[in-house]
């Protein structure tokens, strides 16, 4: 069979990894596929940098113009690694219009414009694959779309942002503050100079949006995702959580309920004895609860040149096998047949149920605890665990772990508690997920 020609647009860290994987494992890939796959064109604005990555391989054409690749008649598969939603979107749509198959690692593009892209791809009968967009080297999209396809998936919860997980792991193990660990992460290259996208939950939000869609067969809609990051987390909350037997992780969570779909990213307490509570550093892990299989966990490196390239190339191999297939022979873009992808109501964060961690700063005098717990009781919220400690300045801290409650009730109770004149600062509230099956 004739070789498959791949063009990479946006040749950077992952693109270089993709070229490396296809070159170094060419024999192993041919053994698997029964045909050769080769990178024949790459693009990057800065041609010197592209040359640096590609080296002396003169079988690869380097161009500054991505359009040259998506319009080239010899290219079978376009790998989009430009990032963002402007040029990347234009190029992906142009590649599709030209009848080319697409592999992308661009979570933002899919989470925000995926429906449009998949509709265009369906019209041209081409594949658009995106394993590398979620959790780097972990084959979680394949597991959700295929491996667990016998199931109704109930919920997904994932550590899907390595930067945040590194920061939280360091805050816990070293007792450091957020700002110090962020600087360390930046020095190590685990965090960007502007870390907003990672630490405020946008990146995790894009990824959980994509997983939600392939798990439940709902259109991609990042605007429905509730986002709460880790930048305001204090070291003391991580330590209190630890005392109570919990770890704090930034989780992307999505859940199918009878009345709609939850889609949210926020710091979350998890019992220490759960495997996912012990996923540290830049590693990723995704828990999936499905009706027939129960809970599975999928763990591995969530970023990096070669792990991400591993997913890009796996997608390329899937496309190669089915390059001459009909649509019904392929797994649908969002795992469900396009006409069965249906919008479900987005559930507001106020309508979720969760357990809650609260930290109150109060004056150190009798009666505060009674007032607080009676306020909780008035909102039907019961207490599972409680720590009270005197601090400096004649203040006390009360840390409360509640049983499951409706978030709306919780927030109302907190508003009342903050009205107490013995409560001197805003209440810190974090959510807790037990993950007990």
CB of 366 to its own copies, least distance (A): 43
Cβ contacts of 85 within 8 Å, gap of 6 or more: 106, 108, 109, 112, 113
Interacting span for its own copies (CB under 8 A) from 74-82, 107-115, 335-343, 358-366: 335-343
Residue 162 makes contact with its own copies by CB under 8 A: no
Residue 288 contacts residue 148 (beta carbons within 8 Å): yes
H/E run at residue 308: helix 305-321
Interacting span for its own copies (CB under 8 A) from 86-94, 130-138, 404-412, 427-435: 130-138
- Which of 49, 330, 408, 416 binds its own copies (CB under 8 A)? It is 330
Which two three-digit tokens encode residue 295? 């809970």
Place of tokens 């979620």: 134
Phi-psi region at 214: left, alpha or beta (left = phi > 0; alpha = psi -120 to 50): alpha
Residue 174 makes contact with its own copies by CB under 8 A: no
Cβ contacts of 42 within 8 Å, gap of 6 or more: 7, 8, 9, 11, 15, 19, 50, 53, 54, 60, 61, 62, 63, 69
- Which of 58, 194, 258, 324 binds its own copies (CB under 8 A)? It is 324
- Which of 29, 70, 225, 368 binds its own copies (CB under 8 A)? It is 29
Interacting span for its own copies (CB under 8 A) from 69-77, 83-91, 174-182, 303-311: 303-311
Place of tokens 């946006």: 10
Residue 292 makes contact with its own copies by CB under 8 A: yes
- Which of 10, 16, 114, 139 binds its own copies (CB under 8 A)? It is 139
The dihedrals phi and psi of 179, each to the nearest 5 degrees, come to: -60, -40
Core vs surface per residue 23-44: b (16+ CB within 10 A) or e: beeeeebeeeeeebbebbbbbb
**Residue with smaller CB distance to its own copies, 215 or 396:** 215
CA–CA distance from 113 to each of 84, 105, 107 (Å)?
11, 14, 10
**Residue with smaller CB distance to its own copies, 4 or 405:** 4
Cβ contacts of 135 within 8 Å, gap of 6 or more: 158, 160, 207, 284, 286, 298, 300, 302
Catalytic center residues: 207
CB of 149 to its own copies, least distance (A): 5
Gap between the Cα atoms of 37 and 16, Å rounded: 15
Residue 333 contacts residue 118 (beta carbons within 8 Å): yes
Residue 2 makes contact with its own copies by CB under 8 A: no
Residue in 173, 170, 172 with CA at minimum distance from that of residue 183: 170
Interacting span for its own copies (CB under 8 A) from 107-115, 137-145, 237-245, 373-381: 137-145
Considering only residues 210 to 239 of the shown chain, the ones binding its own copies according to CB under 8 A are 217
**Residue with smaller CB distance to its own copies, 130 or 178:** 130
Gap between the Cα atoms of 30 and 140, Å rounded: 24
CB of 77 to its own copies, least distance (A): 14
- Which of 56, 59, 329, 374 binds its own copies (CB under 8 A)? It is 329
The dihedrals phi and psi of 433, each to the nearest 5 degrees, come to: -120, 125
The dihedrals phi and psi of 340, each to the nearest 5 degrees, come to: -100, 0
- Which of 101, 108, 266, 298 binds its own copies (CB under 8 A)? It is 298
Residue 310 makes contact with its own copies by CB under 8 A: yes
**Residue with smaller CB distance to its own copies, 112 or 318:** 318
- Which of 183, 340, 403, 425 binds its own copies (CB under 8 A)? It is 340
Pairing relationship of beta strands 383-390 and 353-363 according to DSSP bridges = unpaired
Residue 420 makes contact with its own copies by CB under 8 A: no
Gap between the Cα atoms of 204 and 209, Å rounded: 8
Interacting span for its own copies (CB under 8 A) from 18-26, 194-202, 227-235, 402-410: 18-26
- Which of 102, 314, 372, 430 binds its own copies (CB under 8 A)? It is 314
Residue 125 contacts residue 274 (beta carbons within 8 Å): no
Residue 271 makes contact with its own copies by CB under 8 A: no
**Residue with smaller CB distance to its own copies, 30 or 196:** 30
CB of 191 to its own copies, least distance (A): 20
Residue 354 makes contact with its own copies by CB under 8 A: no
CB of 65 to its own copies, least distance (A): 28
What single DSSP character describes residue 145? I
- Which of 118, 178, 336, 357 binds its own copies (CB under 8 A)? It is 336
Instruction: Give the count of residues interacting with its own copies (CB under 8 A).
Output: 66
User: Footprint of its own copies on this chain (CB under 8 A)?
Assistant: 1, 17, 21, 24-25, 28-35, 131, 137-139, 142-143, 146-152, 217, 275, 278-279, 290-301, 306-307, 309-314, 316-318, 321-322, 324-325, 328-332, 335-337, 340
């Amino acid at each position: 069979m004739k070789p498959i020609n791949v063009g990479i647009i946006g040749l950077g860290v992952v693109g270089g990894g993709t070229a490396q994987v296809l070159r170094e494992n060419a024999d192993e890939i041919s053994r698997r596929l029964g045909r050769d796959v080769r990178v024949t064109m790459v693009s990057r604005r800065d041609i010197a940098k592209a040359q640096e990555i590609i080296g002396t391989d003169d079988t690869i054409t380097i161009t500054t113009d991505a359009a040259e690749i998506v319009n080239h008649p010899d290219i079978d598969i376009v790998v989009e690694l430009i990032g963002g939603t402007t040029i990347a979107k234009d190029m992906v749509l142009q590649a599709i219009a030209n009848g080319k198959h697409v592999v992308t690692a661009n979570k933002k593009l899919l989470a925000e414009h995926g429906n449009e892209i998949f509709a265009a791809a369906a019209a041209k009968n081409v594949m658009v694959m995106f394993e590398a967009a979620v959790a780097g080297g972990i084959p979680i999209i394949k597991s959700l779309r295929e491996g667990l396809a016998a199931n109704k998936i109930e919920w997904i919860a994932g550590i899907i942002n390595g930067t945040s997980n590194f920061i939280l792991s360091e805050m816990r193990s070293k007792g450091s503050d957020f700002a110090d660990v962020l600087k360390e992460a930046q020095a190590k290259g685990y965090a960007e100079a502007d870390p907003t996208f990672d630490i405020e939950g946008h990146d995790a939000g894009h990824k959980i949006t994509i997983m939600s869609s392939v798990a439940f067969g709902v259109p991609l809609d990042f605007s429905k995702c509730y986002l709460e990051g880790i930048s305001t987390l204090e070291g003391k909350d991580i330590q209190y959580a630890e005392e109570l037997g919990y770890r704090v992780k930034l989780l992307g969570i999505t859940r199918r309920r009878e009345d709609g779909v939850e889609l949210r990213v926020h710091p979350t307490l998890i019992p220490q004895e759960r495997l996912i509570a012990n996923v540290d550093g830049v590693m990723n892990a995704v828990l999936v609860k499905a009706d027939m299989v129960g809970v599975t966990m999928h763990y591995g490196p969530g970023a990096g040149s070669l792990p991400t390239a591993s997913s890009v190339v796996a997608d390329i191999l899937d496309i190669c096998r089915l390059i001459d297939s009909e649509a019904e022979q392929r797994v649908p873009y969002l795992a469900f047949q396009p006409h069965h992808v249906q919008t479900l109501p987005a559930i507001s964060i106020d309508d979720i149920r969760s357990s809650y961690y609260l930290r109150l700063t109060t004056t150190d005098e009798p009666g505060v605890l009674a007032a607080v717990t009676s306020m909780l009781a008035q909102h039907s919220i019961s207490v599972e665990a409680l720590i009270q400690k005197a601090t400096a300045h004649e203040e006390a801290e009360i840390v409360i772990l509640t049983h499951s409650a409706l978030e709306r009730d919780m927030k109302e109770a907190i508003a009342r508690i903050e009205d107490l004149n013995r409560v001197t600062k805003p209440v810190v509230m974090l959510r807790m997920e037990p993950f007990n099956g």
